[in-house]
Structure 1
Amino acid sequence: MAGSRQQTASARRDDDRRGGTRRANARAAASRRRKKRSRLRLTLAITVSLLVLAASGAGWVYFKLSGNIETFDADGLSDNRPESTAKGQNVLVIGSDARTSGNSALGGGSKDDVGRSDTAFLLHVYADGKHAVAVSVPRDTLLDIPPCKLPDGSWTEEQKNAMFNAAFSVGQTTKGNPACTQNTIEKLTGLRVDHTIVVDFKGFAKMTEVVGGVEVCLPNDLYQRDLNPNRATRGDLIFKQGIQKLSGAKALDYVRIRHGIGDGSDIGRIKRQQAFVGSLIKQVKSDGLTPTKLLPLATAATESMTVDAELGTADKLISFMMGLKSIDLHNTKFITIPWRYQGARVAIVEPDATQLWAALKADRTVDGTDASGKSKGKKSKETAEPSPSATTSEAVSGEGIAVAVYNGTTVNGLAARGGRVLMDHGFTLTGTATAATQDYGATVIEYGPGEDAKARTTARLFPGAKLQQATAPGINVILGTTFANDPTAGPVAASPDSSEEASVPSAVADDARSADDDPCSNLSYG
């Protein structure tokens, strides 16, 4: 019995020890779990804190950039705008000489002076995202400025044969009128401007500093009087002949200088400005088009930039800039609107200008490449479009198209005869009259911005007719001797897609500059 009790007591002690061990193990495991949860909570807390800090930092950058961006009132844009082609983008870039916000220290003059456009170009980014062309418009170009909104909310009358840079000064405000300049470009080109960007002296100078300077080439030495012709003496040497890097105020002086190089014209200055912008793009691309690299540039730009409302936030602006990264330097071209001197001013050369706008609308590059982004195979002889001069039984409908008819010959009653042809096909005849001159050989179809499709339909009733874009809205048919000799000719076949025919005029293409060109080449006119 005694032995049995001893065995039982020993078993209990073993059970107690095993129970104690289990409890100890359980407590240890619980402790480890608590420590693990604690470490996990700490890790999560640190991670969340870092994410919050990162988000706060990104938010700070976003709001800082967005806070820098100033927008102009979209209410100042015309109600009669060209339709969007839904292909490439058109961006109007204006260099403003406004003296506000510290710009007078760089550009001279009074801070209360009226803002003017010192330079301007229309940047067409092709639909394929791999090509771009900047078309410079000289500030002295004579054209029509459409009605524009004034600060008091009223609208001006159309200005005929005015200088292009006068559009930016409509309203006589210190900051200028970007909407009026955009209206003028849209009326001139028949192209819808998707975005407008205005950069002032200070923003331009700052951007050149951020990229570490821009490489330029001077064909000869330049002195203070070349920058300010009113000086009595030549002054100090400001630029030496040859290649050099410029930034800040010096870069601004370079792009503004006009005298002392070539013929001292604005056309020559435009060539140097095109070379400068090409070098600036080259410098930015060499630094790398990444958000990190673009952020300082965007910060500098937005501090002195005015844009349209649709481009007025940091994400949209940076997204737009990043969208240009696939365009290589050679495919970034610079050209000038077809021009000729008219006294001391610049006149637009037609039909070259109309041909240029048609090429941009069709996404045809300077060298004739189809950059619409669409894959198009060559047409076989069996499937080729019919000749535009061939007659066809296909019906022509003029529904919704209003036309005025003018007699451009000495044949009596020709305008009335042409009007009857149009009305027989459903066109609305707004009037008939005698043209300013009676020496027209071919019939001419004049059409306003955005009315090219209606003009092509109208032209089908007049074999051999030529299309010519005008600045005023509406469609005018000026009948020539081709119609007088054969007024009963049937309608011609529909024209092929304009993108198949459009091309940049050779005179413009031959004078084009690429962003990768030698900085010393083709710097001056005259």
Structure 2
Amino acid sequence: MSASSRRRRVVRTVIGLAAVLVLTVAGAGAWFYHRLDTNITTFDAGGVATERPPAPVPVTPGASVPVNVLLLGSDTRNDGNADLGGGDEGVGHSDTAILLHIYADRKHAVGVSIPRDTLVTIPACRLPNGDWTKPKANQMFNEAFTIGASANGNPACTQNTVEALTGLRVDHTIVVDFKGVSAMTEAINGVDVCVPNDVNSHNIKLKKGPQKISGPPAVDYLRARYGFGDNSDIGRMKRQQAFLSSMIRKIQGQGFSLPTLLPLADAATKSLTVDEGLGTAMKLVDFAQSLQQIKLSDITFVTTPWRYAGDRVALVHPDVDTLWRLLREDRTLDGQSTGQVADGATATPSPSASAGAQTPAPTATPLSAEQLAAPVTVINGVGTDGLAGRGSAAIRAQGFQNVSLGQTTGGRLRTEIAYDPPFKAVADQLAALFPGARLTEEPGSEGVTVTLGRDYRPAAGAPTADATPGAPGTPAAAPTGPLPSAMPSGIAENSRTADTDPCANLTFG
């Protein structure tokens, strides 16, 4: 055999071996991704409300827009979680809830913690049998997750509640249980935390001081409430925020490469429940990699401005309204614009833009601040896309603060305003907004429900709460006036950046 023939044979052999190696690696990779995909549990999108806040509008076609991700920690003891959390199996609560707003510039992020005891209106939510509940006012926030008593909780109901509360469209929802926390912390070889004092309470033992934790101790650190400060959920949220900051720091330090992210995804997907938009391993990895340019100093955690209301928590207005508006307009907490989203594109509609053709200013006696905070639910009783959004915008334009959207029903000819007797004055005021509406007393309803009928005629071109601003014939909503010149104290006092000393400000009371 000639030298040239031998060289050709060697080349063919090398090429053949390379091809086999590529196919083997590709096959292993495909198998690995398939395994991750089969790990993931998704929740049914059919439970997401049909009336939703608008999607943001990019400055130019194809530009990035903000992304809102709802992170929920479930305390369920089902599926082996009792080994980590103790207690009996049963329906879990979302005792941890963080709404992560990722700015359109992909250089800033804000995580908003919502206290589990916050009193809110839980809007209409879908039950396992397909029926929808009626909205209920003055409910603890974490009760939304339990609607329907499903073993895996009701993430869609919590998402609906957050959207109704904030006016922000939630793009993705992720639920993680105790096993997920344990596995993910082990996958990144531990998280550096600081324990403010020795703890030996409710079967949780933690030693004071800086330390690295993973597995079950990480679960204990995140779920512990007693033994710190006043034993409140507020203090626990401070430690959860510090923990997430440290976890982000660890992942950034290791890099956002596939060798780092895939083991984390493997651990996470075994105990995650996500919306269908994040239902594959690659979608989760792509999402994580999209955050790699955000510096720790540009990640802020904030607890919603709050106060105690007996044993529960009430949101503080107008500070919390300013917080939601800043995020709807994609502004940082100090009011700066990132310049990536059309100014005011996702802000609450202005009175001039949202008042309907039939909605003159009310002539009834002016309401008190307490009455303007009454829970009002708006239901689309016709089925026309965006009708409830237009009606709710008109109501908000008159100063009502606690307006949520109910589930579309259809078939209603005449607008009806149903009210609990204590809210009679509120119903009378709303009747002036919807001439011809029928008033119906409904004891025990805990608020006012406006069901829009075919007699309601919103102004042509009025923005909706579920349409995409910027679409033909749908003008973007205008801002609702100047923002405060300084960050409201309710926001500033409840904030910490991800680069804050991990031992600082870890308890409350």
TM category, shorter: 0.7 to 0.9
3-state secondary structure, aligned to 1:167: helix
Which whole-Å deviations, capped at 9, do the CAs of 1:290-340 have from their partners, x for residues lacking one? 111111111111110000001101111100000111111111110011111
The verdict on how the C-alpha distance between 1:458 and 1:74 changes in structure 2, with shifts beyond 3 A counting, is: closer
The verdict on how the C-alpha distance between 1:452 and 1:147 changes in structure 2, with shifts beyond 3 A counting, is: closer
**Contact map agreement 2:109 2:298 (CA 8 A) in 1:** yes
- Please say if 1:507 is aligned against 2:482: no
> Match for 1:159 among 122, 136, 145?
136
The verdict on how the C-alpha distance between 1:52 and 1:398 changes in structure 2, with shifts beyond 3 A counting, is: closer
Hey, what does 2:359 align to over in structure 1?
A: 403
Amino acid at match of 1:160: A
Counterparts of 2:170 and 2:368 in 1: how far apart (Å)?
35
> Match for 1:227 among 202, 221, 224?
202
Larger Rg: 1
Hey, what does 1:327 align to over in structure 2?
A: 294
- Please say if 1:180 is aligned against 2:161: no
> Match for 1:131 among 85, 108, 116?
108
3-state secondary structure, aligned to 2:146: coil
Deviation at 1:219, TM superposition (A): 2.0
Hey, what does 1:49 align to over in structure 2?
A: 20
The verdict on how the C-alpha distance between 1:254 and 1:268 changes in structure 2, with shifts beyond 3 A counting, is: same
> Match for 2:174 among 197, 209, 224?
197
3-state secondary structure, aligned to 1:355: helix
Deviation at 1:191, TM superposition (A): 0.5
Deviation at 1:452, TM superposition (A): 13
5+ unaligned residues in a row in structure 1: which ranges?
1-27, 229-236, 377-387, 390-395, 407-414, 416-432, 460-464, 480-493
The verdict on how the C-alpha distance between 1:42 and 1:402 changes in structure 2, with shifts beyond 3 A counting, is: farther
Which whole-Å deviations, capped at 9, do the CAs of 1:106-159 have from their partners, x for residues lacking one? 111223x11211211100001110000100011111000011111111111111
Hey, what does 1:64 align to over in structure 2?
A: 35
**Contact map agreement 1:133 1:333 (CA 8 A) in 2:** yes
- Please say if 1:259 is aligned against 2:229: no
Which whole-Å deviations, capped at 9, do the CAs of 1:407-426 have from their partners, x for residues lacking one? xxxxxxxx1xxxxxxxxxxx
**Contact map agreement 1:261 1:524 (CA 8 A) in 2:** yes
Which whole-Å deviations, capped at 9, do the CAs of 1:179-210 have from their partners, x for residues lacking one? 00000000100110000000000010111112
Counterparts of 1:350 and 1:399 in 2: how far apart (Å)?
23
Counterparts of 1:183 and 1:456 in 2: how far apart (Å)?
15
Deviation at 1:56, TM superposition (A): 0.6
**Contact map agreement 1:221 1:240 (CA 8 A) in 2:** yes
3-state secondary structure, aligned to 2:156: helix
The verdict on how the C-alpha distance between 1:361 and 1:437 changes in structure 2, with shifts beyond 3 A counting, is: closer
Deviation at 1:176, TM superposition (A): 0.4
Counterparts of 1:371 and 1:94 in 2: how far apart (Å)?
27
Hey, what does 2:502 align to over in structure 1?
A: 519
Amino acid at match of 1:310: G
Alignment of 1:275-286 (within 5 A): 275-286=242-253
**Contact map agreement 1:199 1:304 (CA 8 A) in 2:** yes
The verdict on how the C-alpha distance between 1:364 and 1:506 changes in structure 2, with shifts beyond 3 A counting, is: farther
- Please say if 1:354 is aligned against 2:335: no
Deviation at 1:511, TM superposition (A): 2.8
5+ unaligned residues in a row in structure 2: which ranges?
58-64, 344-349, 380-385, 407-416, 418-425, 431-474
3-state secondary structure, aligned to 2:261: helix
Hey, what does 1:318 align to over in structure 2?
A: 285
3-state secondary structure, aligned to 2:225: coil
The verdict on how the C-alpha distance between 1:309 and 1:466 changes in structure 2, with shifts beyond 3 A counting, is: same
Counterparts of 1:457 and 1:183 in 2: how far apart (Å)?
17
Deviation at 1:355, TM superposition (A): 1.2
TM-score (norm 2): 0.75
Which whole-Å deviations, capped at 9, do the CAs of 1:209-250 have from their partners, x for residues lacking one? 122222222222111xx235xxxxxxxx92222211211111
- Please say if 1:297 is aligned against 2:272: no
**Contact map agreement 1:89 1:124 (CA 8 A) in 2:** yes
Amino acid at match of 1:361: R
> Match for 2:334 among 326, 348, 367?
367
Q: Percent identity?
A: 47
Deviation at 1:46, TM superposition (A): 1.4
Counterparts of 1:306 and 1:91 in 2: how far apart (Å)?
13
Deviation at 1:500, TM superposition (A): 8.8
The verdict on how the C-alpha distance between 1:495 and 1:168 changes in structure 2, with shifts beyond 3 A counting, is: closer
Alignment of 1:465-484 (within 5 A): 469-473=401-405
Counterparts of 2:69 and 2:173 in 1: how far apart (Å)?
6
Amino acid at match of 1:472: S
Deviation at 1:437, TM superposition (A): 4.6
Hey, what does 2:83 align to over in structure 1?
A: 105
3-state secondary structure, aligned to 2:145: coil
Give the superposed CA RMSD. 3.5
3-state secondary structure, aligned to 1:198: strand
Hey, what does 1:429 align to over in structure 2?
A: none
The verdict on how the C-alpha distance between 1:97 and 1:157 changes in structure 2, with shifts beyond 3 A counting, is: same
Counterparts of 1:190 and 1:139 in 2: how far apart (Å)?
19
